[in-house]
A and B are shown apart, each in its own frame.
Chain A
Amino acid sequence: MAILLNEKSKIIVQGITGREGSFHTRKMIEYGTNVVGGVTPGKGGEWFDGKPIFDTVEKAVEATGANVSLIAVPAPFAPDAIFEAVNAGIDLIVCLTEFIPVQEMMRAYRHVKNSSSRLIGPNCPGLLAPGIANVGIMPGYIAKPGNVGVVSKSGTLTYEVVFALTEAGMGQTTCVGIGGDPIIGSSFVDILQLFEDDPQTEKVAILGEIGGRAEIDAAEFIKANMTKPVAAFIAGASAPEGTRMGHAGAIVEGGQGTAAEKIAALREAGVRVADNPEQIPQLLK
């Protein structure tokens, strides 16, 4: 069992005929993911590699019973796509898109919170449930089924750690990229709760970075609620204050959000914190 996804998940891709959408849809299908169709306004009735294309998410849901949507459209269209997926009753929305303006995202976030949908991302690599489904852009071969849950703010850093786990013979239940933006649909705490409740997940790795206080909230949650061992790595210990490090969310402001304070909070909560992400497998042995 994985969290968020299972063998019955029916996945559509919003933006299936776009540059990113088409490339990654093929990879997802290759992986064995149950992609049931896609959405591109104006192309309803056409086909993409044997999957039906719809004009709207609503039509796609009616025809296929889709309950998961991967959003792979450029930033100017992404907030609209999130609203559409919510209003069509999609349970799980995964938004890959980078560079969505913060205020737009706050409105979309609010709409998601007022609904029963769950949002992962934006600006995230998506979800990979090894052996079950790949909903996003993570390279499938780096993972294998197992009992470690991985949750991360970053894309390629996730690959790094998942690959190290796999090389060390430790498979994963689910790898979740929550995204590096200031406003994201699901927090570390949301995902940690799911891992804690998932009987298959025995250990958890959390990969954070400087900026904001999501890792501090995670530390408090772990201390109060988690029974499973957790290892962590926080990126950006060498980053100077006041400079944004690529991710819109990765900035230390007014002395808040430093790697040092996050590491201290996590250690205080009993988390094994690595100073090199390649140490994570050892810390979880």
Chain B
Amino acid sequence: MNLHEYQSKSRFAGYGIPVPQGKVATTPDEAYAIAQELGGTVVIKSQVLVGGRGKAGGVKLAKSADEARARAEEILGMSIKGHIVHKVLVDPASSIAHEIYLGITNDRAAAQPVLMASSEGGVEIEEVNRTNPKAIIREHIDPLMGLFSYQIVKVALGIDLPRDQWRAFSKIVQGLYQCFVENDAALAEINPLVITADGKLIALDGKMSIDDSALARHPDLAAMRDTESEPEAETQAREAGISYVKLNGQIGCMVNGAGLAMTTMDMTKLYGEEYGIGPANFLDIGGGAKAEQVSAALRIILSDPNVKAVLFNIFGGITRGDEVARGIIEAYDEVKPSVPMIIRLQGTNAEEGRAILDSADIPNLRTAATLTEAAQKAVEAAKGAM
């Protein structure tokens, strides 16, 4: 889960990292009041969970409180890459002498966190990695031992940081690592970390991404989720304990297990691509799903108007075929979907499940013995409905 800039910076501040003393506004009048309070030039920054805000016109300077109100008026409500701006951060403007990049992320291949720094701050680190990879200094952190001071010195040397900044820099890096660990972050990034004209270090922009698996033990972070910018179906799925991602195709897929769910999507594309047919969603009902989850999943799939056919692929292990069959019937009785449905049940209690479905006598439900047959039938059904 990604945090907004203002949320990330407020976390950073809690670990002794200097950040601008700005506040969040949801209306132009609030922006005016904050600018009035701060005095001087301010910067109005859209709070959306997507990169490239500056280029899209979502970050603007304002020299007075009146101007702040006008700029906030422009930015609030605008759409940046499909994300509507509901909040702006009003920060005091800083005089920038130099911009540094500083970030900590999990290096999957090394199975350790990695500290990254670059003297080329202010641009996306992926961009620096493309154009000048040597400008990025990387230092792995042993997760059992923690971050050592000498490692910070190595990094400071690597980015040619002036020696009079080392002490302040060291405090910031230690704070960022502590913040990264204590919040179960997948990413904690300051970009840019600025050296101001009067020689101070300040975290001008911040980004944090929290490990979804750790949210259960960080209720304060979980509460920061911005459901305003999340599609409704995904919120519903999350609440039902289902993993759902909407895609652009016509075949709604309901599968148990993430790998098999992706495979099932792939099969609809493999057999459907030549007719412009593909998966409408990724959906994993998880291990051991009960009838209620199955019916919730079907309602979510059918809430997408593009869906022309539904493909169930259930290979029972922990999940039981009879539970799934009952869920399908329950959902059918409730929703009465008119789209054709193809079901392939295999594994634990699959026979019982098939018997339950047969006796329910659902007119638009057909069965398939293998994944290939199921995908082909689903493509045929979607073709017929288009």
Contact residues on B (Cβ < 8 Å of other chain), bracket: 35 or more
Interface of A is mostly: loop
User: Which residues of B have CB within 8 Å of A33?
Assistant: none
Q: Which of A2-10, A47-55, A218-226, A239-247 contacts B (4 or more CB under 8 A)?
A: A239-247
* CA gap between A252 and B347 in the complex, in Å: 30
**Nearest A residue (CB) for B106:** A102
B348 in contact (CB, < 8 A): yes
Contact present for A153 and B259 (CB under 8 Å): yes
Q: Is the CB of A156 within 8 A of B257?
A: yes
Q: Please determine whether A99 and B262 come into contact, CB atoms closer than 8 angstroms.
A: no
Q: How many residues of A contact B (CB 8 A)?
A: 59
A155 touches B371 (CB 8 A): no
A254 contacts chain B at the CB level, 8 A cutoff: yes
Query: Which residues 88-104 in A have Cβ within 8 Å of B in the complex?
Result: 98-104
A106-B113, A137-B318, A240-B247 are known contacts. Are A209 and B259 too (CB-CB below 8 A)?
yes
Q: Which residues of B contact A110 (CB under 8 A)?
A: 111-112, 142-144
| Residues in chain A near residue B269, CB distance under 8 A | 237-238
Instruction: Kindly state the separation between the CA atoms of A254 and B213 in the bound complex, as whole angstroms.
Output: 22
B381 within 8 A of A: no
Please measure, in the bound complex, the distance between the C-alpha atom of A210 and the C-alpha atom of B265, giving whole angstroms.
Answer: 13
Please determine whether B259 and A247 come into contact, CB atoms closer than 8 angstroms. Answer: yes
Q: Are A103 and B260 also in contact (CB < 8 A) when A110-B142, A183-B108, A277-B371 are?
A: no
Q: Which of A106, A154, A246 has the most CB of B within 10 A?
A: A246
Q: Measured between C-beta atoms, what is the minimum distance from A108 to chain B in Å?
A: 9
Known: A155-B259, A159-B347. A103 touches B113 (CB 8 A): yes
A265 CB–B CB distance under 8 Å? no
Q: Residue B258 contacts which of A76, A158, A247, A278 (CB distance < 8 angstroms)?
A: A247
A235 at the interface (CB under 8 A from B): yes
A190 to chain B, nearest CB (A): 13
A157 and B245 alpha carbons, distance in the complex (Å):
19
B315 on the interface (CB 8 Å rule)? yes
Measured between alpha carbons, how far is A163 from B372 in the docked complex, in Å?
14
B364 within 8 A of A: no
Proximity string of chain A (146-164) to chain B, C-beta cutoff 8 Å, 1 when within and 0 when not? 0000001111111110010
Residues of B within 8 A of A213 (CB): 109
0 or 1 for each of A47-89: is its CB under 8 Å from B? (1 = yes): 0000000000000000000000000000110000000000000
Interface contact B317-A159, CB-CB below 8 Å: yes
What chain A residues lie within 8 Å of B144 (beta carbons)?
107, 110-111
In the complex, A195 has a CB within 8 A of chain B = no
- Among B113, B212, B247, B263, contact of A233 (Cβ-Cβ < 8 Å): B263
Q: Which residues of B contact A (CB under 8 A)?
A: 106, 108-109, 111-113, 126, 142-144, 181, 184, 186, 211-214, 216-217, 243, 245, 247, 255-263, 265-270, 278-279, 282, 284, 287, 315-318, 346-348, 370-372
Contacts A107-B144, A276-B270 supplied; 14 other A-B pairs, CB < 8 Å: A76-B216, A99-B216, A103-B184, A110-B143, A137-B318, A155-B259, A159-B315, A183-B111, A212-B109, A235-B259, A244-B245, A247-B258, A250-B258, A278-B370
